[in-house]
Amino acid sequence: MTDNTADLWAWLYAEADDQTPVWADVTCVAVVEPTAHADVTACLAALEASDVQPDRVVIGSVEADLDADWVWLLSATARPAPDALRHLLTAVERHPEFDVIGPLLIEPRRRGPGVMISQFGQTLSAGGRLRGLVEPGELFQGQLETTDALGVDACGMLVRGSTWKQLGGLNDTLPPSHRGIDFGWRATLAGARVAVEPSAHVVDRSPEPDGGDARAAGLALAAGHQRKGLGWLGRAGLVLGSLLAALGYLIGKDPHRAGDELTGLWRWLTDSRLRASVAAGVAAVAASPEALARAKALRPARWSGLRRVAEAATGRFSSWLATFTERGHTVGLDEMTGDDFAPQGTTDPRLSALLVGLVATIALALAAGRSLFGAGSLQGSQLPAAPSGWLDLIGDYLTRVPGGASLTPTPWAGLFGLASFVTAGRPDWLASAALLGCVPLAWLAAFRWFRQLLASATVAGVAAFCYALLPVLSGIVNTGSLAAALWTVLLPIAAYSATHWVARPSWRGAGVLGLWSLLACAAFPLLWVVVLGLAVIVGLRRGRWGQLAVMAASPLLVLVSPWATTLVAYPGRLVTGIEPSLAPTAALPPWDVLLGRGVAAGAPPLWLSLAVFGTFWLVALAGALRRPRWAGPAFVVATVAAVVAIALGRFVVWVPPGAWARPQPLAWIVVMGGALVCAAAVGLDGIGGELRGATLGLRHLGTLSVVVALSAVVVLGAGWWVVAGQSELSRGRVSSVPAFVSNAQVSATPGRTLALEIREGQVAWSLQQDDFVRLGDIERGPVLSGDPAAAALAASVVTRLTAGSADDDLLDDLVTLGVSHVWLGGGSPALRTAIGNTPGLGVGTGDDASTVWPVPESGRAVVLGESRTLVGNGGEVPVGRTVRLAEAADPDWWATVAGQPLAQVAAGEPGQSFDLAGRSGPLEFGLRQPVPWWAWLQALGLAVLMVLAAPSLTRRPGGDVARRVDAPQRVEAAAPRRAFGGEA
Amino acid sequence: MRRVIVVSIAVLAAAVAAALALPVQQPPVAVTADDDIAISLLCQSFKAASAEVTVAAASTGEGLRTASLSRPDRVDEPGGVAVLRDRAEPVVVTVPRSAASGGVSVVAAQAGPERGLSAATCLAPVTEQWFAGVLANPSAQAQLVLANLDSTEAAVDVTVYGRSGRLSVAGSRGIVVAGNSLTTVSLAAAIAASDAVTLHVASSQGRVSAALRQRSWEGTTPLGAEWLPTAVAPARSLVIPGIPAGPGSRELVITNPGDRTASVNVDLLGTSGRSDIAGLEEVEVPAGATRTFDLTNGLAEQPGGLRLTSQWPITAGIRGNSATEPAQRDPFLLAALEPVGSDGQWPVPVGRQAGVEVLLSNPDTADARVAVGSGAGPADEVVVPAGGSVVVPVRAAATPLVRVKGAGTQVRAAVVASRMVGDVRGLAVVPLVALASPAEGLPIVYDPRTGA
């Protein structure tokens, strides 16, 4: 009869009665080495508790000729598990080929079950960095198995006695952290097998080794084991690697590790005893080719270091992305009582607001910009075509403007050129991304900030969308106002960074805000006053003057530069944005500002603005009255911004390159709108929870009205954005003139084009040269702006041409201006005839759309003598009287003929003249440029700011600023309710 | 905090109120340094043994200068008025564009080919001109005078529209006019049409100032001479002002240069208002043809103007004379004109004994207010009723200065001068159109993106 109660699997667990461990006959000596930080008592106690006791325990330093079958090395800080030795011995029983075997080093026990890995085996990178076979901090769940390794930590290492004697024990000149890898490596070269056994656990409570000593040891080991043929090249590689690593740590704002790199490098280079001991140990081992190959295979693969850097960067990027994602808004029991791996927050099965918002805004942006993708340059009424390359912008920034009109290159153009590096050096792509993508980017930035302020992700998403529509509803995108579009994106970034800095001041936060201040003040110089004032106020309350100084002083990099002379000569620029002369001069009625209509042409219909901003004002007021303490300040900021915008629009100011302009309210409207949205969202946040379960009343009706109104705002705003929000922008050719005219502007003998166009009941004109006017040229000063007399002459020529005066001076004046072609767009036949009858002008060609007249022998450089001859830079000049450059006169102009310098002469008319003095030959001329030392200073300051602002390698301790959480629902007693809730 | 919110709202309201109440600073108007931009006019003049030819030019601004066509050395004329007599060749008058300026040439003769009183306005060179109602036959000499004020050569084409359509005229293409010179084309032999024709003079190169001198004969007896004014380019609505009161024939000449028959409505803009002309309420003009219609009975010696409306572009003029008796008869010629313009001043050197009137016609549906002045005195505001005409007498003077300001109106104007020249009832009608440059009225603004 069968005994069904018997365990059919008992054989699996049973040990043979006659089976005894093999190691029972071997001697095992445990050596416990005392340390300066701990005594041996605890370690001896742990040994006492072992289920397999060593035959002998030696307390003291390890002797090289220790006689035993197996030597088990422990330090005073080691706490072996009771079964650690047994597992080690079992492993060598199963694998008799192992000569050195080490345990799994674990971290001291943490809250809850689970074993955290501290170190599992050792290897050394080509750069001398000690690595484990797995990343520390992993949870051990039995996923590891006995594995070959280059070395194991000396703490807990079990060594075959013969191997111990053969290799002469550990190298005492190395720090304890590196003795194991050194021994294991020499053992591997000697033909021994080194392995690590994961089932044997030892807790090592030894302190972190000195970073410099550890680094020096790693370098010594790496150098000592390099191929003989490398020689000094190998050591130079190690030095370079250390220096680059130190730089990387500095950039990653980890100065301690950077210091360890440099200290370790210095110690390695200066400690000859260390180097000699390592080299002697390596040299004492006769390594076979198989052993060398085996050792090489146990080291990290090539480029593993770069892979680690990439993984670290990816990890930091993921952490940064986490600042956008929503988290559960309640703290659960698991989170309170569990360990580090317990689930945090409640699981929200709905779609992420971040994902929904991002996809929606990007889809809408693509739809809205459907006609603006393709070849050509993006242009608008306040957006000239961008230069073809980023170097053009930077080159223009470093080139001074000739003449005495105090015009200088603009810092914002230089910054835009630098930023174009991220768009493959194409400023047009950056401008397109900024304008066409400003809504999604603004939404993303605003959503991140609103998530800090609000409990509900949905409310944050809607509020962010309302904010993100501001550049569309105000006309910023339609007019191509680049600075205002970027301002819309940067403003919530600054708010987020400022919020974090106030909660937890840091140099990184100061760097971010400093960088933001610099960018903002490059476009809107007046902001520096605001930044400075806020810095002083915050400093008086909280100190941190150093970090506040970084924020407040950063804009000085652009304000205290050659641009300062322009700001002094054209003080109106302080209160305007970029390219201020492109803005319309018609004043806006004050209600347009309140309704967020920053421009007359390009804004949405009045009824739409009324619906949207009327809702914003009312809801913001309701929010401010409900929570005056939290939402009130935002409402006040909105009213202040509106007052400033209205006041600025009443005046006209003198701006470069010498025109009267009216400050536009666009940036202030963004501040106003953003503050209104903030007041509304913060003020009404959580009202749903308050009303839930409450008796139906006026508050419910009011809340429903707000929801309906805001929904309508979102739909109407988004709809108008897609239909007509970018209809005023266009993409196409840069110029309207025929190709032969534009070619003439960039030929070897370049000339200018006097462009006239009849449109909108007026005659518009300009002088074009080179590649036509581009982004940054207008404020810097287009053609001849540095010479007011030349500008006046050009205006006179246009007036006389269009009047049909046909006077004899016109041709000479055109030559003085360097005009090689006159181009007329549109115009009546009578006007064309009137221009064509200018004495000396060439025969006009064209069609009904445009006509071009050549100006014979005219260009930007001519030789005057018995006749007039057009010349170019590097070309041959005939014998003549003077060389005249159609450029703004400046003492820094130079010219040579056949290498002989020419003297400047005063010609009594616009332009720069040189006395030929009868010479002829190759002509060269140019404008002397000062050494742009200030640009290097600015670049250095910008680099420092960017390093400060860059994410650090290590996370901030304590995590991010705590988000606001919903208050728990209270059970109200039956009591009369007010019609409106909020704070008392 | 609520108090702060309320205060901020109050501040905002105050800011809005202040913005509405206070004036907005405007950018200074950019004044070009060329208020002395000059326009050149050509005043007809010639040497005639039996006639007195007077050229008068005036300007309210400084910079009035005169020169001969062939010798463009300009002579300053201080005082703002220049009166030149018996110049052998046309006179180039340079006036500032910004001022009210004008010039008139007057020929007075008791006998001879230039018999009677004739006048022509000084004109700036243009690219095309129309002359409606030219008689070119053995009884009517028509001389086309082409003057080139520029130093560069000009080339002119002449197209003739006769009763049956366009006429092929030898030598009418590519008429070259050298710089600073004039060319005279006699049309009688070339055209030889019994009925009135219309000329279209267009320059293919350069520009000219064209004038047409019409001389009438009966056998060997001169019946008078007159300049035919330039008519407007063909349009669907035309106004012919300056029909003088009094006896004499009146003929309407209409040319249809298009390729479809035009039906033309003819309205009289009389001193009593708009009215039809019996038998001429609607007339038809075949494509490419010129037709003549008798207005004598319909006008009944009343002054006024004519308004012509057509579904296709037409041009027109009026031929008439001052008396029924041939011995007293002096021809006059009218043409469809542009509105009088914002401000113009014309000196009319007809002598103190001449009667001078300004005839204003308003084709619009609303009354128009026009300022009319003479001499140095202030201009009086005259209301020209809708669809009607007004006659404004001008104070007698040797060279009465007529000034008309009709900015923003559709009023057409002409000066009617009459005086006895021997036995002839001299009658001359001077069309008044203020000077305008091709870009007149268009503000000039600097826009750095123009062409880019």
Tens of pLDDT, residue by residue over A737-752, are 999 999 999 999 999 9
Q: Fill in the amino acid letter for A419.
A: A
Those residues with Cβ within 8 angstroms of residue B213's Cβ, 6 or more apart along the chain or in another chain? B44, B141, B142, B143, B145, B225, B226, B227, B228
Q: Tell me, what's the pLDDT at A818?
A: 94
**Neighbour count for residue A539 (Cβ, 10 Å):** 17
Cβ of B150 within 8 Å of Cβ of A640? The answer is: no
With contact defined as beta carbons under 8 Å apart, do A881 and A864 qualify?
A: yes
Strand partners, A926: A894
Q: Is B157 exposed, middle or buried (0-12, 13-18, 19+ CB in 10 A)?
A: middle
Q: Report the pLDDT value the prediction gives residue A954, as an integer from 0 to 100.
A: 57
SS3 A72: strand
Q: Do A803 and B438 touch (CB under 8 A)?
A: yes
Put simply, whether A729 touches B (Cβ < 8 Å) is no
- Best probe of the B interface among A636, A777, A809, by most B CBs < 10 A, is A636
d(CA A896, CA A903): 9
Cis peptide before A657 (omega within 30 of 0): yes
Nearest chain A Cα distance for residue B19, angstroms: 7
Q: What pLDDT, on a 0 to 100 scale, did the predictor assign at position A19?
A: 54
Instruction: Return the residue matching tokens 């003989």.
Output: A228
The percent of residues in chain A predicted with pLDDT above 90, rounded, is: 45
Give the pLDDT score at A982. Answer: 39
A670-A675-A679 Cα angle (round to 5): 150
A residues 588-617 lying closer than 8 A (beta carbon) to B: 589-591, 594
Closest approach of chain A CAs to the CA of B7, in angstroms? Answer: 9
Q: Of A73-82, A456-465, A609-618, which one has max mean pLDDT? A: A609-618
A635 touching B, CB under 8 A?
Answer: yes
Q: What is the mean pLDDT of residues A925-951?
A: 89
C-alpha span between A602 and A475 (Å, rounded): 5
Q: Are A523 and A577 in contact (CB under 8 A)?
A: yes
Give CA–CA dist A488/A492, Å, rounded.
Answer: 8
**pLDDT interval class at A961 (50, 70, 90):** very low
Q: In the predicted model, is pLDDT for residue A963 greater than 70?
A: no
Residues with Cβ < 8 Å from A87, sequence gap 6 or more?
Answer: A103, A197, A199, A200
CB-CB under 8 Å, A796 with B28: no
Output DSSP code: residue B229: P
Whether residue A971 has pLDDT greater than 60: no
The residue type of B162 is G
Note the pLDDT of residue A327.
46
More reliable by pLDDT, A24 or A637: A637
Judged by a CB distance cut-off of 8 A, whether residue A904 touches chain B is no
* Beta-carbon separation of B12 and A642 below 8 A: yes
- Please report which confidence band the pLDDT of residue A234 belongs to, taking 50, 70 and 90 as the band edges: confident
Report yes or no on B130 lying in a domain: yes
Residue B152 lies in a domain: yes
Weakest mean pLDDT among A53-57, A830-834, B433-437: B433-437
- Give the Cβ contact number of residue A712 at 10 Å: 13
Query: At A219, is the pLDDT very low, low, confident or very high (cuts 50, 70, 90)?
Result: very high
| CA nearest to A793 within chain B | B33
Under DSSP, the state recorded for A383 is B
The answer to whether A639 contacts B451, with C-beta atoms less than 8 Å apart, is: no
| Greatest CA separation for chain A | 136
| pLDDT band of A827, cuts 50, 70, 90 | confident
Segment A858-875, tens digit of pLDDT: 999 999 888 888 889 988
Strands A762-768 and B444-446: parallel
* Domain ranges within chain A, ordered by starting residue: 21-209+288-309, 358-363+378-685+701-731, 733-859, 862-927
Model pLDDT, residue A326: 47
Residues in Cβ contact with A496 at an 8 Å cutoff, skipping those fewer than 6 apart: A445, A448, A449, A452
Closest by CA to B287, choosing from B310, B309, B304, is: B310
Identify all chain A residues contacting B207, using CB atoms and an 8 Å cutoff. 833-834, 837
Residue A980: per-residue pLDDT: 34
How many residue pairs from chains A and B have C-beta atoms closer than 8 A? 189
User: Residue B19: inside a domain, yes or no?
Assistant: no
How far is residue B65's CA from residue A806's CA, in Å, rounded to a whole number? 16
Tell me the two tokens of residue A355: 């994902």
In the structure encoding, which two tokens stand for residue A461, read together? 């998403």
Residue B384's DSSP bridge partners are: B368
Write out residues 782-841 of A within 8 Å (CB-CB) of B. Answer: 782, 792, 795-796, 798-800, 802-808, 823, 825, 827-831, 833-834, 837, 839
DSSP conformational letter for A871: -
Q: What are residue B202's DSSP bridge partners?
A: B128, B157
pLDDT of residue A341: 53
Could you count the other beta carbons within 10 Å of the beta carbon of residue B184?
12
Whether residue B172 is contained in a domain is answered as yes
Q: Is residue B4 part of a domain?
A: no
Is the Cβ–Cβ distance between B360 and B412 less than 8 Å? yes
Task: Check whether A470 has a pLDDT greater than 50.
Answer: yes
Least confident of A110-114, A439-443, A807-811, B186-190: A110-114
Nearest chain A residue to B19 by CA: give it.
A590
Residue B304 φ/ψ, nearest 5 degrees: 155, -155
**Close Cβ partners of A31 (under 8 Å, ≥ 6 residues apart):** A57, A58, A59, A60, A62, A66, A71, A72, A73, A74
DSSP B336-361: ------S-EEEE--S-TTSEEEEEEE
Is any Cβ of chain B less than 8 angstroms from the Cβ of A845?
Answer: no
Query: CB within 8 A of B219, min separation 6: which ones?
Result: none
pLDDT tens readout for residues A354-366: 888 889 999 999 9
Cα–Cα dist B120/B212, whole Å: 10
DSSP code for A528: H
What's the number of CA atoms in the CB half-sphere (13 Å) around residue A800? 26
Give the best-scoring range by mean pLDDT among A354-358, A451-455, A483-487, A697-701. Answer: A483-487
d(CA A492, CA A474): 17
Residue A960 has pLDDT above 60, yes or no: no
- Residue A958 has what pLDDT? 42
Q: How far is B95 from chain A (nearest CA, A)?
A: 11
Counting DSSP H helices and E strands in chain B, the numbers are 3, 34
Tell me the per-residue pLDDT of A611-660, one tens digit each, with 9 for 90 and over. Answer: 999 999 999 999 999 888 889 999 999 999 999 999 999 999 999 888 88
- Give A629→chain B minimum CA distance, Å: 6
| Cβ neighbours of B33 (radius 10 Å) | 11
- What gap in Å lies between CA A815 and CA A754, rounded to an integer? 11
Element (H, E) at B75: strand B75-76
Nearest to A735 by CA among A375, A383, A384, A373: A384
Whether A382 shows a pLDDT value over 80: the answer reads yes
B298 neighbors B268 (Cβ within 8 angstroms): yes
- Please name the amino acid found at residue A836: G
Q: Which two tokens stand for residue A88?
A: 């080690």
Q: What distance in Å separates the CA atoms of residue A438 and residue A432, rounded to the nearest whole number?
A: 9
Residue A15: its pLDDT value, please? Answer: 54
Residues A362-384 have a mean pLDDT of: 92
Kindly state the tokens that stand for B54.
């007077």
Contact at CB, A834 and B30, closer than 8 angstroms? no
Q: Is A967's pLDDT higher than 60?
A: no
A916 has pLDDT over 70 = yes
Sequence-distant (≥ 6) Cβ neighbours of residue A296 within 8 angstroms:
none
- Nearest CB among A624, A642, A837 relative to B5 is that of A624
Find chain B residues with C-beta within 8 A of A590's C-beta.
Answer: 15-16, 19-20
Using CB atoms and an 8 Å cut-off, which of residues 364-393 of chain A contact chain B? 384-385
For residue A824, give how far its alpha carbon lies from the nearest alpha carbon of chain B (Å): 9
Supply the pLDDT for residue B343: 86
What interface predicted TM-score (ipTM) does this complex get? 0.71
pLDDT of A506 higher than 90? no
**B75 vs chain A: nearest CA distance in angstroms?**
16
CB-based contact B147:A849 (threshold 8 Å)? no
Residue bearing the bigger pLDDT, A328 or B252: B252
Closest-CA residue of chain B to A587 = B24
Note the CATH architecture for domain A21-209+288-309: Alpha-Beta Complex (3.90)
pLDDT tens for B48-74 read 888 999 999 998 888 888 988 887 677
Task: Give the residue with greater pLDDT, A602 vs A342.
Answer: A602
Q: What is the DSSP string of B172-188?
A: -S-EEE-TTEEEEEE-H
Which residues of B are less than 8 Å from A624 in CB distance? 5
Look at residue A981 and tell me whether its pLDDT is greater than 60: no
Range B225-231 average pLDDT: 93
Which range is least confidently modeled, A672-676, B29-33, B179-183? B29-33
Residue B242 has pLDDT above 80, yes or no: yes
Interface test with B, best of A593, A733, A779, A802 (most B CBs within 10 A): A802
Interval A949-957 mean pLDDT: 63
Q: What is the mean pLDDT of chain A?
A: 85
State how far the Cα of A637 lies from the Cα of A214, in Å rounded to an integer: 55
pLDDT digits (tens, 9 = 90+) for B259-288: 999 999 999 999 999 999 988 889 999 999
Helix, strand, coil % over all residues of chain B, rounded to 5: 5, 55, 40
Distance from CA of A546 to the nearest CA of B (A): 32
Shortest CB distance from A590 goes to which of B19, B124, B449? B19
Q: Which helix (H) or strand (E) holds A779?
A: helix A777-780
Is A809's pLDDT higher than 90? no
CA distances from B57 to B84, B149, B402, B412 (A): 9, 17, 11, 21
Q: From the CA of A129, how many Å to the nearest CA of chain B?
A: 60
The alpha carbon of residue A782 is apart from the nearest alpha carbon of chain B, in Å, by 7
CA distance A559 to chain B (A): 26
Instruction: Pick the residue from chain B with its C-alpha nearest to A826.
Output: B451
Query: Are B36 and B96 contacting, i.e. CB atoms less than 8 angstroms apart?
Result: yes
Total number of domains in chain B: 1
Q: How confident is the model at residue B438 (pLDDT cuts 50, 70, 90)?
A: low
Contacts of residue B439 in chain A, CB cutoff 8 Å?
A: 758, 763, 802-804, 831
| Residue-range definition of the domain harbouring residue B87 | 38-432
Nearest chain A residue to B98, by CA: A803
Q: How far is CA A116 from the centre of its chain?
A: 35
CB neighbours of B220 closer than 8 A, spacing ≥ 6? none
Q: What is the mean pLDDT of residues A809-817?
A: 89
Give Cβ neighbours of residue A910 (< 8 Å, ≥ 6 apart): A784, A787, A789, A790, A793, A816, A817, A886, A888, A889
How does residue A974 score in pLDDT terms, banded at 50, 70 and 90?
Answer: very low
pLDDT of residue A42: 83
Q: What separation in angstroms does the CA of A492 have from each of A422, A548, A863?
A: 22, 19, 58
What phi and psi values does residue A503 have, to the nearest 5 degrees? -75, -40
**Which residue is associated with the tokens 């006895």?**
B420
Question: What Cα–Cα distance (Å) separates residue A949 from each residue in A247, A430, A817, B234?
Answer: 16, 21, 48, 73
Helix axis angle for A390-398 and A411-419, nearest 10°, is 150
